[in-house]
Amino acid sequence: MPSIPQSLLLLYTLAQAAFATNQTELNACLALNALTKHSLNTAVYFVPYTTDSLHWVTSSTQASTCVYLPASPEDLAAGVKLIGEQRVRFAISCSGHAMNPGFSSTPGIHISMHRFQNVSISTDRSYVDIGGGISWADVYSKLDGTGLSVVGGRVPGPGIGGFKITGGGGYSWKTNRYGLTGDTLILAKLVLPNGTLTTASDTVNPDLFWAIRGGGNRFGVLYSLRLQAIPQSSVVYGGVKLLTGDEIAPLLNATHNFANTNQDLHAQILPTVNYIEGEPSALLIALYDDDPGDINPFASFNASFNKQSFSSFVGSIPSLLQSGHRGSFNTVNFQSLSMPVLEQIKNQSRYWGQQMLAHSGSFVSLELEAFAPYAQFAKDAAWPHTTNSLPLNIYYSWDDAQQDDFWHSALKETARVLAETAKADGQELNGLNLYPNYAIAGTPAKLMYTEPNLIRLRQLQKVYDPNGVMLLTTFFDFE
């Protein structure tokens, strides 16, 4: 008899308990099943259900009473309407990369957007329509060879729905030249909290269009996005270089030089300072988003890479290697990647890395983002991003649930120490709104949004969700 993977066995066991004990949500699942039983390709899964509710980090996985996979906007709308009528907990997931428990997981009805996978280019090649359940890696794969791309995610795994738009984003390999993904959003199709299908753009429901770009899952469920199409070279130059602990100092020196002197907007880097298996290490991910000819744009890093397609480059990034552990993100913003800040990043990686053995740790990583100024591309949106701030993604993972409090405290302490280091170096961090996609659960909304934006978000919640349907799922509190 073949063995059952441990993660599936755990999910199966937890799901049995949820299925057996939550009668209200079970009744809602049964009603949803009856409502959509004649719909083509739409399904409701009970125990043992599919892996659609699993997440990249196990701490974000919750055993749902059922998993709902709508295959059409109409079936998605029917599900949202039923959930609102029956007042049951729910969550929406695209690819399961939300790090905060409850943001895309629930003990109630788990709506998986996985069957919204379409990618289509307009006849005039000015925009791309993309389904709300596809991963960015798959988007790039489908666009490969067309000469077009979009401003989207940087690594394999994350999906288009939450990570890039509703969470405020997102940052991209194209940000130097086009801004964030939300800045290139032309139109969104979504289900409102009352189950109504609608669209939002600069000219249709403009308030709603403003709100969904950073307002989280509070205004409905997005199932299709129309993004500006941008030219894509058939060949790019880049890749991944693994570095040992003694190479971290040269990497940080080169990163400081690049961040302060690079003028070529096609060149971008994403270094990470890590601790894994008891040893310090680093990773340099670098992209020149065009054919550089015979020039090596990253020679100052003592690194050489290959020419390949953009899709191939993104697919080569090892972002999924640490799946299957517990984990969380946290973040802090900088005005610049100064040497005192970079040295403190190295120190924090080493300090918390040395705590791993005693606290079931598996991975410590601090990801540096060295963008060129991008505020000139920023559109007015719920999450304001007009300060050219540089977000740092702090990512710690571990295995023992009893160590959750330790590592959550470690993430917060790391952000605090780094912020104090930047301030001592003369950086003004007030007004640099934290990036919601990186922020740890419980982060006060006032640290991510301006007060005028919070007031407007609260007002629009009352307009578009007067019955509080979207409060049956989880996001940061706007109050």
Q: Which residues pair with 361 in a beta bridge?
A: 398
Q: Are 146 and 129 in contact (CB under 8 A)?
A: no
Q: Which two tokens stand for residue 152?
A: 């989207």
What pLDDT score was predicted for residue 371? 97
Task: Report residue 50's pLDDT band, with 50, 70 and 90 as the boundaries.
Answer: low
Q: Residue 72: is its pLDDT beyond 90?
A: yes
Please give the average per-residue pLDDT across 388-397, as a whole number.
97
What pLDDT score was predicted for residue 6? 44
pLDDT tens-digit profile of 237-261? Answer: 999 999 999 999 999 999 999 999 9
What pLDDT score was predicted for residue 87? 97
Tokens 């710690």 sit on residue: 396
pLDDT tens-digit profile of 84-106? Answer: 999 999 999 987 778 888 888 89
Query: Strand order of the sheet with strand 119-121?
Result: 119-121, 127-131, 221-228, 185-191, 197-201
Task: Report residue 316's pLDDT band, with 50, 70 and 90 as the boundaries.
Answer: very high
What pLDDT score was predicted for residue 169? 78
Domains of the chain are 6-112 (3.30.43.10), 119-232+457-472 (3.30.465.10), 236-424 (3.40.462.20)
First to last CA, the chain: 53
Pairing of strands 109-112, 66-69: parallel
30-44, 156-170, 174-188, 306-320, range with the lowest pLDDT: 156-170
Q: Residue 83: name the closest of 25, 18, 23 by CA.
A: 25
Q: Which two tokens stand for residue 127?
A: 């925009």
Q: Are 397 and 376 in contact (CB under 8 A)?
A: no
Can you spell out the DSSP letters for 40-70?
TT-EEE-SS--GGG--SSGGG----SEEEE-
Contacts of 200 (CB under 8 A, 6+ apart): 187, 188, 190, 206, 208, 209, 212
Q: Which residues of 190-223 are buried (b: 16+ CB within 10 A; e: fewer)?
A: bbbbbbeeeebeeeebeebbbbbbbbbbbbbbbb
Q: Residue 271: name the closest of 245, 240, 313 by CA.
A: 240
Could you check whether the bond before residue 48 is cis, i.e. omega within 30 degrees of 0? Answer: yes
- Better-scored residue on pLDDT, 53 or 71: 71
Q: Residue 367: is its pLDDT beyond 60?
A: yes
Q: What is the pTM of this model?
A: 0.93
Q: Is 138 left (phi over 0), alpha (psi -120 to 50) or beta?
A: alpha
Task: Report residue 48's pLDDT band, with 50, 70 and 90 as the boundaries.
Answer: low
Name the strand (E) or helix (H) holding 271.
Answer: strand 267-276
pLDDT tens-digit profile of 414-453? Answer: 999 999 999 999 999 999 999 999 999 999 999 999 999 9
Q: Which two tokens stand for residue 62?
A: 């919750």
Half-sphere exposure of 83 (CA within 13 A, CB side): 34
pLDDT tens-digit profile of 7-45? Answer: 444 445 444 544 444 899 999 999 999 998 889 899 998
Task: Report residue 164's pLDDT band, with 50, 70 and 90 as the boundaries.
Answer: low
Q: How far apart are CA 29 and CA 88, in angstroms?
A: 10
Q: Residue 142: is its pLDDT beyond 80?
A: yes
Mean confidence (pLDDT) of the chain: 92
Could you tell me how many residues make up the chain? 479
Q: Are 382 and 316 in contact (CB under 8 A)?
A: no
Q: Are 121 and 128 in contact (CB under 8 A)?
A: yes
pLDDT tens-digit profile of 397-421? Answer: 999 999 999 999 999 999 999 999 9
pLDDT tens-digit profile of 320-333? Answer: 666 788 999 999 99
Q: Which residues of 292-306 are buried (b: 16+ CB within 10 A; e: fewer)?
A: beeeebbeebebebe
Q: Which two tokens stand for residue 402?
A: 């009893």
Q: Collapsing DSSP states into helix, strand and coil, what is residue 416?
A: helix
What pLDDT score was predicted for residue 13? 45
Residue 246: Cβ-neighbour burial (10 angstroms; 0-12, 13-18, 19+): exposed
Q: Which two tokens stand for residue 20?
A: 């057996």
- Quote the distance between the C-alpha of residue 134 and its chain's center: 13
Q: How far apart are CA 86 and CA 408, in angstroms?
A: 34
A 10 A CB-CB count for 160 gives: 30
3-state helix, strand, coil in the chain (%, to 5): 35, 20, 40
- Better-scored residue on pLDDT, 208 or 320: 208
